[in-house]
Amino acid sequence: MKGFAFCSLWSAVVFASAAFAQQDPPKKAASPFLVFVSASPKGEPAVVEDILEAREELEKRLKKNKKWFRIAESAADAEITVDVEAYWVREERRTHDQRHVAGSANHTIQVDTIYRHHSLRAMTRFFGSVKEMTGTQVKRGGGNSKGAAKDLADRLERHCKENYWALEEKQKARTSSN
């Protein structure tokens, strides 16, 4: 019985120390990260237009999120740079059975539905380290680059929250050196 109590006590100590070792990020950043959003579009004019529209939407989304981000005037001033590089749309056809009841007769028909995957790829630099990020919007029959930009902004915020303590240390080091 003593061995069981010791194991239980030891397990509690290990779990408690693990919980204290990793703090959750705060609800908002102590000092919002400076972000510069740019675009380097290539391809057909319609694709270039979509990339530029997505860049504007991404910047607008980040500007609204004042708890975590501020928009920088130039890449040199920024702690995080986001370069929107590509935009594409992929269609997917899904077939599923749909049951219809008409009076006393039941019958099943197959229905084809087209889903459009709108994807946006950006190269993101966090204090020098590079990460490729992709934002995607999947909609039945529609969607646009703005939805993909919203998803990319959400992923950027999630990345900053998951790596908050490391990013904050780099932010403090950068501001103390200036």
| Sequence ranges of the domains in the chain | 27-177
What's the pLDDT at 101? Answer: 66
Q: Is 3 exposed, middle or buried (0-12, 13-18, 19+ CB in 10 A)?
A: exposed
> Would you say how long the chain is, in residues?
178
Determine contact, residues 148/87, Cβ cutoff 8 Å.
Answer: yes
Range 27-177 classified under CATH 3.30.160.150: yes
What's the pLDDT at 38? Answer: 93
**And the tokens for 155?**
């992923």
Whether the per-residue pLDDT at 11 is higher than 60: the answer is: no
What's the pLDDT at 66? Answer: 94
Average pLDDT taken over every residue of the chain: 79
- What is the value of pTM for the model shown? 0.71
Determine contact, residues 153/65, Cβ cutoff 8 Å.
Answer: yes
Closest by Cα among 13, 52, 26 to 146: 52
pLDDT band at 20 (very low <50, low <70, confident <90, very high): very low
